[in-house]
Every structure is written in C-alpha cells, then in structure tokens.
Amino acid sequence: MQPLNGVRIIEFDGLGPVTFAGMMLADLGAEVVRLTRDASAGPAAFDEVGGAVLHRGRVAVPVDLKSEADRGRILTLVDGADAVIEGFRPGVMERLGYGPEVLQARKPALVFGRVTGWGQTGPLANAVGHDLNYIGLSGVLHAMGEADRPPSPPLNLVGDYGGGAMLLVVGVLAALVEARTTGRGRVVDAAMTDGAALLGGLFQALRGQGMWNERRGANLLDGGAPFYRCYTCRDGRFVAVAALEPRFYSALLAGLEIDPGEAVQYDIAAWPALQARFAALFASRDRDDWSAHFAGTEACVTPVLSLAEAPDHPHNQARRTFQDGLPRPAPLFDGKAVEPAPKSALTLEQMVTKWSDHAG
C-alpha cells in the first residue's frame, strides 16, 4: 500500500511546477490522470520536457479542452476525482469552463490546486515570466552567487520546484485532509513568488537581526565563510566544505594541517585570507584524493558530483537513489521506496468509466 492509495487527481498538463507536482503525487500513490493536448486541438505550445521522470507513474489522456464533447466527459471525470491541479495563467481555466466555481459546484469536496509564478492576484498576476523572474521578486535570487558578479540562477529549483510544486503538493494534501473531515474542498493558490519568499524566511529573519549582510559572498551560508563553500581541486573538479560547527571545523583544520591558532573560525575580517589559503591547499590534490583523505572524519568535506557521476556513488547505489540513471521516488516509507506505476495511455471515455465508481 502506498500513502495516497485511493486518492484520484486530475492534472491539466503543462510545464514546470504542475508537472513536478503531478509526479510527486503519483509517486506517493495517488492515481493521477494527466490530461494532455489532443492532436485535433492543434500543436502544443511546448514539447515534452523531462518526461522520463516528470511524466512517470500516471495515465496520459488526450483531450481537446475546447471541445463540447470532451468537456462533458471531463466534467464527468471530475465527479470521480478528489483534486484537480493546474498551472495555467489566472483566468484561463475559467474561460475554458473548468474554473473552481464550476467544478466545486459539481463536487463540493473537490480540492482545486493552482500554481503560477505571480499568484492568482496582485498587479503582476497576468504578466508573463519564468522561474528566474519570480525568485528575483522574492529577494532570494539577490543572495545567490559571487560577490563581484550578478546573481547566479539556481537552476529552476527554487521557483518552479521548491517554491511552486512543493508548496502546491503541501497545500493540496492539507486540503484533502480537511475535505475528508468537512466535505468541503479548498482552492489552493500556490505562487512561486510566495513560495520562494517563504524558503528565504531564515535569511530575512537573520537580516532583521543584523546577522545577514546583503552583499553576496559575505555571509555564513552564501560562500562568504571559508569553511562553507566549494573549492576547485587540481583536476578541475570540486569539493564541498561544510564544517559549520566548531568540532567539525577543528577536524577540517586537522585534515588540512593548519594550526587552529592561525585560523580562528569566526574572525570574519580574516575570512578572505583564510579562504585563499584553503583554496591553495585544495588545488594541490585531485578531488577524489581529498574525498579519500577526509573519509571517516567529521570535517564535512565531500566531492561535488556531476549529474553523470551521482548515480554511481556507493551511497546512492546502496539507497537505490537512482534507478536506470534516473532519480527514484522519495521519501522512503517504512524503509522502502514507493514504486511508480507504469505509464499508460487511455482514452477519455475509458477513464470516465474507470472512475465512475468514485463519483459522488
């Protein structure tokens, strides 16, 4: 049994966070049907991206959202669903006739999850944008990168997936729990700007206490501290050093053969010189030499693996973190990974019949 067995969710196909959220919910055991664009509706505005992972574990059903025949079937499918998730710009679902007022009038307990960049309300609600724009407005992007360079994009992890998809999943799960008690569904408005700002809450709190400098690369967790950053090794690869606690810092100094009296951990004025010293030492040996050197110590020094290398690391192999080179579902439940259901394709009529027992 998987945690969300018996939960049925309709995913209106899209890009970015709604796709990742659909994957997560399917990974947790929900039966998710992904409504994809039927060829009769014309070419899609986007191609399948990352489908081997992002589209796993759920049924794909081609539909034409503007077709009256398909509209009737989709509304019937809603009768058997517990939740709907979508990532269109505000107002699109309403114009198509699938807004929360329409769907929840049919099924009051339905949870309606929406994820957008700017949110459903506000001056920018209908503006275009991408992950980088959204996290730029949150304050988080400004804190990332080198001191003398523009902020560095953190892939699309902070906006699309962390601030968007993960908060959508949390909101939908919370609303599903409530709906089972009250019989009333909620409309979940997950905005990437909100989510990214929430993820940056610690740093806003530190800033308010005078413990965070807005200059990049000048703080404890942004690469400013010589004991919490990455270093280039002789072979051009990297190690991650994260010796935050004094005990771990002492182990780091011991491994580098540095006298503790010459490297006081929180002498911030001395950080630039100490960082240069660490950099010269790490540049003297290959990455894997340093990994072996610090193995079994408390120095918190580990290799920075490439995407290609990560599946082959012994720890990842022991935990089966990757399967066939792709990340498996997480987290573990009772020490076991959830196995995603095989992908399949059904017609809309077949799905309506399949879910008819769950209506009402």
Residues recognised as catalytic: 130, 160
Gap between the Cα atoms of 254 and 128, Å rounded: 52
Instruction: Show the tokens assigned to 297.
Output: 């110590």
Token reading at 3:
């945690």
44 contacts 37 by C-beta, under 8 angstroms: yes
Beta-bridge partner residues of 86: 114
Residue 10: beta bridge partners? 33, 84
Asked if 81 and 88 count as a contact pair (C-beta separation under 8 A), the reply is no
313 secondary structure, DSSP code: S
Distance of CA 284 to the CA centre of its chain: 36
Starting at the edge strand that comes first in sequence, how are the strands of the sheet with 111-116 ordered? Answer: 187-191, 111-116, 83-86, 8-12, 31-37, 59-63, 344-345
Radius of gyration of the chain from its Cα atoms, rounded to whole angstroms: 24
Beta-strand pair 31-37/111-116: unpaired
Terminal alpha carbon distance of the chain: 24
3-state secondary structure 76-89: HHHHCCCEEEECCC
Structural contact between residues 42 and 66, judged by C-beta atoms closer than 8 angstroms: no
